[in-house]
Amino acid sequence: MAERQTVLIVEDDSAARRMYRTALGVAGFDIIEAEDGISALRSLDQYPVDVAILDLILPTLSGLAVQQEIAAHAHTRNIQVIIITGSSMNLDDVDVSCVLRKPISPDRLIVRLSRSRVSDRRMTWQVSQNAWPVQ
């Protein structure tokens, strides 16, 4: 049986957050929720997280600021970050696993998270075998 991944959903829209929580929970993910950037950082200090799903536009602290904090600290820098946004901002230079543009279906999000699970297992195996990742 595969180990369950813990996903932090950071979304200020309660309906969208509920939709993601329900779909990802049914798909086998453990879920932590935050409605703003400050709450997200508090959650990251309290819980081990595998993936952070960040809305870009958040109250108190933006999704980009949260992503920068995740990248800046040793205990969080290996967390995969997925940005979900309705913004048309160019995010090509942002160091995240992927950017998904709203509206996004829960199914598309689940597919993206499932792909990251496979990628993580492959990377772990390659590292344990002292092999370089195949590009």
Provide mean pLDDT across the span 101-113.
Answer: 88
pLDDT of residue 47: 93
Note whether residue 105 is domain-resident.
yes
User: What is the domain count for the chain?
Assistant: 1
pLDDT of residue 69: 94
pLDDT of residue 113: 85
pLDDT in tens, 33-47: 999 999 999 999 999
Note whether residue 1 is domain-resident.
no
pLDDT of residue 96: 85
Sign of the C-alpha dihedral computed for residues 75, 78, 82 and 88 taken in this order: positive
Note whether residue 98 is domain-resident.
yes
Q: Name which of 57, 60, 88, 83 is nearest 70 in CA terms.
A: 83
Note whether residue 134 is domain-resident.
no
Note whether residue 61 is domain-resident.
yes
Note whether residue 25 is domain-resident.
yes
Indicate the helix (H) or strand (E) that contains 74: none
In whole angstroms, give the CA distance from residue 23 to residue 17.
10
> Domain holding 45: CATH number?
3.40.50.2300
Provide the residue range defining the domain that includes 30: 6-128
Distances (CA, A) of 122 to 16, 76, 80, 117: 31, 21, 15, 9
The DSSP call for residue 28 is T
pLDDT of residue 135: 35
